[in-house]
Structure 1
């Protein structure tokens, strides 16, 4: 059992200088666990609720003083001095205290920070890294990091509706080479984009380069050019996070693709064509977060690309159960703060594992330096996981985490993504027509 002797909460800042809740939890044996609640720049409609104060004079409405008070006024009296057997028992106290389905009373950021703090305190008591503490099978592999290279959004007159363009070093020998490939590609891509636009590329919201074209095909072709210039032809796959809810017109039932307005079926077909020209390992959130029929169709049509749900699933077991019943996805993006507690996130992962659905751990755009999602990536033996662009501290730290874990886990090798059922690398990267 773990007896809790002290819980402290405070407002700190995430990597985008936005307020977030941080919780310290101390056990009777003197072990400290610390947890914080990152948030995304785009948040799915079905995510657990992040509680912010809304005072425009305090961090422009983003302060979290009420959430911190909820830790001190409600969670502390409920857990101090208690002997708690496990993570599920601790999280059950939090869930019952909140009493809502979406953590809206206490705030998901309140509950999540405490949940992570307890997990780390228990792991420290056991004398283990968190990834070993949560592992249910022998640790044999290190996940392949997927690098977010180009960000969508507005860049001058260019509006790229797709949110993220990623590279995945599927042909790396080990994690050290995978990291080197991602870092090298990012530098070479900057040079390719500078030549293309005759000016250095801007910085996107997730610290990747701003997309230089509204056409996803042009963006992918430029990335192919960078792969060839870097000497990695045939060893790199690509991926997309479309975040299509952001550009979905609910009244008209249409999406934006390049400069066109298209239906869901037309969007699926256009991305299918992209998958024939480029090795797309996965496509995330291709359709709106409530377009279940569209996801089912996409899974049928895109037969050599993994269909992932992020806003569709939001790490929620009930939504994953529906996705399984409707054969809507090949995998989901595991973001534990979306559901609010570690045990609920692990429960969703276990349901996915039993049904042959991939869990793809990912940080949030407003991340933290010491993100528990990295322990989940290794401990749950994910084949690949999502990282940001390799140019900000909290994102670099995620890469360093994988390098350290590979050294500590005897015999661990980089996961082999070519073994995934729906993905088999096609022609060498760089074989598609150049964007220039």
Structure 2
């Protein structure tokens, strides 16, 4: 399918933190219009592409950005690969959030022009068979997301892959129990950007106890496990890792993580170390791989050139880390060919855009990371997954 661009324009909208986000609108030669917007991180990883500068809500988009994006209509690009190739050459100048917004806007316009659902369009681009992923739902938030004594960024509920009509209620049942237990005990101070409960407790063990008990009390211990986002880049200090008042070595952190996986129903550990601690990655991945997926986020930054199954058993895919749909899909395909798991992820400062849901289903991802089921910026992702199940007949060909 070919679809030439007639017009491309960028705007600014609000993100879930009240800051600004890039939104793009692309009009094809046949008059079909598509729109896309891009989330951003509270604190981007060292390896991910930079975001734009100069955008502000209520103010004109800087002329240099507006002019460059408008130039897409003069390139002659007529498919996603052509559009994204042009955008990839400009990520450093435009910012990955701007290029991603344009990339998603073009994808939506192309899907509408072809008369196919977005999830089917994504699957065709990737050469994959759609399937519903498991959920990674933030239950408790710490680290830079929580401002609490919990060093880890997220303690998540991890379901097996399956229809949202089964996985969403299971997550809700556990999340409510975690929420109630912490708030009723006066041990919660609110919600994080990702809608995980921010705990006010002494020590990580108390948090893991609450979550494990909630899973058991909900009667879903066969369906839900625990996933840990260590977010080690944000703990790294002076060659070690800051865990509260202690500075520990990679080996000490690995030992603690292993103890947690022995004591609690942990099925996934994300970013346990910084990228430079390669030996620690290899050792932990080798030790846990038979029962726990070690997942690389900042380690791989959704960039296929960093992928290495010896370091981690899976990769987290964040579209704005590389700035285009094509680059994200390519990394997913490479991961699958290498026998690695992959999960599609939201970001901390989100928009209403639900393309991550369509992409996760299109790729048949192992998981989709969507935050906790509170507040509109996260709930809209849950609702899109439920809609995709309801409309399965339209795209499951």
Verify the 8 A CA contact 2:131 2:363 in the aligned structure 1: no
**What residue is the counterpart of 1:143 in the other structure?**
133
The answer to whether residue 79 in structure 2 is matched with residue 86 in structure 1 is yes
**What residue is the counterpart of 1:217 in the other structure?**
205
Q: What CA distance in whole angstroms lies between the structure 1 residues aligned with 2:38 and 2:186?
A: 40
1:199: how far off? 5.2
2:376 to 390, 393, 400: 393
Count of residues paired in the alignment: 392
| 1:352-431 pair list within 5 angstroms | 352-410=335-393
Local SS of the residue matching 2:280: helix
The answer to whether residue 59 in structure 2 is matched with residue 75 in structure 1 is no
Local SS of the residue matching 1:42: coil
1:294: how far off? 1.7
CA shift digits 1:343-386 (9 cap, x unpaired): 11111111111111122100101111123211110110112111
Provide closer, same or farther for how the CA distance between residues 397 and 154 of structure 1 changes in structure 2, counting only shifts above 3 A.
Answer: closer
The answer to whether residue 265 in structure 2 is matched with residue 279 in structure 1 is yes
Structure 1 stretch displaced more, 221-230 or 17-26: 221-230
**What residue is the counterpart of 1:5 in the other structure?**
6
CA shift digits 1:50-76 (9 cap, x unpaired): 12239xxx67xxx9965x534421121
Provide closer, same or farther for how the CA distance between residues 231 and 208 of structure 1 changes in structure 2, counting only shifts above 3 A.
Answer: same
Provide closer, same or farther for how the CA distance between residues 16 and 306 of structure 1 changes in structure 2, counting only shifts above 3 A.
Answer: same
Q: TM-score with structure 1 length normalisation? A: 0.83
1:297: how far off? 1.5
Provide closer, same or farther for how the CA distance between residues 206 and 64 of structure 1 changes in structure 2, counting only shifts above 3 A.
Answer: farther
Verify the 8 A CA contact 2:5 2:78 in the aligned structure 1: no
Q: What CA distance in whole angstroms lies between the structure 1 residues aligned with 2:63 and 2:324?
A: 19
CA shift digits 1:240-278 (9 cap, x unpaired): 0000111111x2x21133553321011111111111111
The answer to whether residue 309 in structure 2 is matched with residue 316 in structure 1 is no
CA shift digits 1:55-114 (9 cap, x unpaired): xxx67xxx9965x5344211213x225543321111122233x2xxxx222222222211
**What residue is the counterpart of 2:53 in the other structure?**
52
**What residue is the counterpart of 1:119 in the other structure?**
107
Verify the 8 A CA contact 1:139 1:409 in the aligned structure 2: no
| 1:144-293 pair list within 5 angstroms | 144-153=134-143, 158-170=148-160, 174-195=163-184, 197-198=185-186, 200-213=188-201, 215-249=203-237, 251=238, 253-257=239-243, 259-293=245-279
Verify the 8 A CA contact 1:153 1:161 in the aligned structure 2: yes
Local SS of the residue matching 1:356: coil
Structure 1, unmatched stretches of 5+, are 414-436
Verify the 8 A CA contact 1:52 1:64 in the aligned structure 2: no
Provide closer, same or farther for how the CA distance between residues 70 and 374 of structure 1 changes in structure 2, counting only shifts above 3 A.
Answer: farther
Verify the 8 A CA contact 1:19 1:64 in the aligned structure 2: no
Provide closer, same or farther for how the CA distance between residues 205 and 393 of structure 1 changes in structure 2, counting only shifts above 3 A.
Answer: closer
Q: What CA distance in whole angstroms lies between the structure 2 residues aligned with 1:263 and 1:334?
A: 28
Local SS of the residue matching 1:2: coil
Structure 2, unmatched stretches of 5+, are none
1:204: how far off? 2.1
1:184: how far off? 2.2
Provide closer, same or farther for how the CA distance between residues 272 and 411 of structure 1 changes in structure 2, counting only shifts above 3 A.
Answer: farther
CA shift digits 1:322-350 (9 cap, x unpaired): x24xx101111101110111111111111
1:174: how far off? 3.7
CA shift digits 1:210-244 (9 cap, x unpaired): 13335322211111121233232333200000001
Verify the 8 A CA contact 2:149 2:203 in the aligned structure 1: no
Local SS of the residue matching 2:138: strand
Provide closer, same or farther for how the CA distance between residues 64 and 113 of structure 1 changes in structure 2, counting only shifts above 3 A.
Answer: farther
Q: What CA distance in whole angstroms lies between the structure 1 residues aligned with 2:128 and 2:141?
A: 36
